[in-house]
Amino acid sequence: MSAYLATIPSPDQGVWHLGPIPLRAYALCIIAGIIVAIWWGERRWAARGGTQGTVIDVAVFAVPFGLVGGRLYHVLTDPELYFTEGRNPWNAFAIWDGGLGIWGAIALGAVGALIACRRKGVPLPAMADAVAPGIVVAQAIGRIGNYFNQELYGAHTDLPWGLEVFQRFNPEDPNNLLNGVATGHIPLPESPVHPTFLYELLWNLLVALLVVWADRKFKLGHGRAFALYVAGYTVGRGWIEMMRTDTANHILGLRVNVWTSILLFLGAVVYFVAAGKRGPREAPESLRSKDAPGPDEVPETSASDSASASESASEAEPAEPVVADEPEHAKVTADAPAAVEKPAAEAPADEPKKPEES
């Protein structure tokens, strides 16, 4: 009993039904992550001088491309889950049941972002720098969905933060336990296990902090903040991937995602160093969308109002000059007779002002 209390419990289910509509925790976490990434990316883009709303316009292209790419990567790297005997190939399209490869999402999402950036006339590397920390935080939020799906965990452990995993049942489809419910809290034989999705969640948050800190300190540009995100994420993903016990294909004894992490880490480091030779980060004016109003453009109504105000001011000027605006020598000439008749009376005019009058 004491060992049970020292572990992290799993949720009984990851899907709830609102009438005929299923509410899936995994899908809700993905949506929440996308919203956070767009919101934070928008703020960072505007802070660098970019046009407000550009990140949202880019996301309209990047998000659908990314979802398709993430699913393609998952299906291509684990085809036996869908195309072997006894499997239903149509489940390859069931993205709501989980299964998104981040590198497929990044790769194809970048294609969508490139299309949008060219339409807006802004540089893709600068856009990637703006959204980098938001993307890795979105990944962290997505890992909460793995918790509700009770998936992507590691081997057995006796550590206090071990995760209890329970047997789920689905009377309508015994083979689809993802949509099942844990009744009776019957632990799986390997329970408790390493919560590897929790390890990755925490690692992702640390990477986001690293990117934000480095970007502020060194003014990273030309895609270097994004490269730092890729390098930092792959370091953690590599060792966490080797802790997982879910089914995966191997190459030379290593999981496919481990090899992907190694190659991407090396590529990110090379890009980070090479991009540093391009000089300071992009100028703020280069981040302005081509359909955004220029800084010197003034609405016509404002110009006409200014002209009217100038005309009114000129009409309000007095016809005769004010005495206070007369030249100094004119005052002396006008006061000269009085100065001859009463020289003593003019003496106070040459005295310095008192301190309280200055």
Q: State pLDDT tens for residues 311-342.
A: 444 443 444 444 444 444 444 444 444 444 44
Q: How many residues does the chain have?
A: 358
- Peptide bond just before 192 cis, omega within 30 deg: yes
Query: What burial class does residue 289 get, using C-beta atoms within 10 Å of its C-beta: 0-12 exposed, 13-18 middle, 19+ buried?
Result: middle
> Could you read off the pLDDT of 36-51 as tens digits, one per residue?
999 999 999 999 999 9
pLDDT at 253 over 60: yes
pLDDT of residue 328: 44
Contact 98, 178 (CB under 8 A): yes
According to the model, what pLDDT value does residue 298 have? 45
CA-closest candidate to residue 82, choices 70, 100, 94, 69: 94
The pLDDT score that the predictor gives to residue 5 is 52
**pLDDT value of residue 30:** 94
**pLDDT tens column, 189-230:** 999 999 999 999 999 999 999 999 999 999 999 999 999 999
Confidence at residue 99, expressed as pLDDT on a 0 to 100 scale: 81
Q: Tell me what the mean pLDDT of segment 248-252 comes to.
A: 91
Higher pLDDT, 118 or 353: 118
Find the mean pLDDT for residues 294-300: 50
Query: Structure tokens of 358?
Result: 């200055």
Q: Which two tokens stand for residue 133?
A: 């920390």
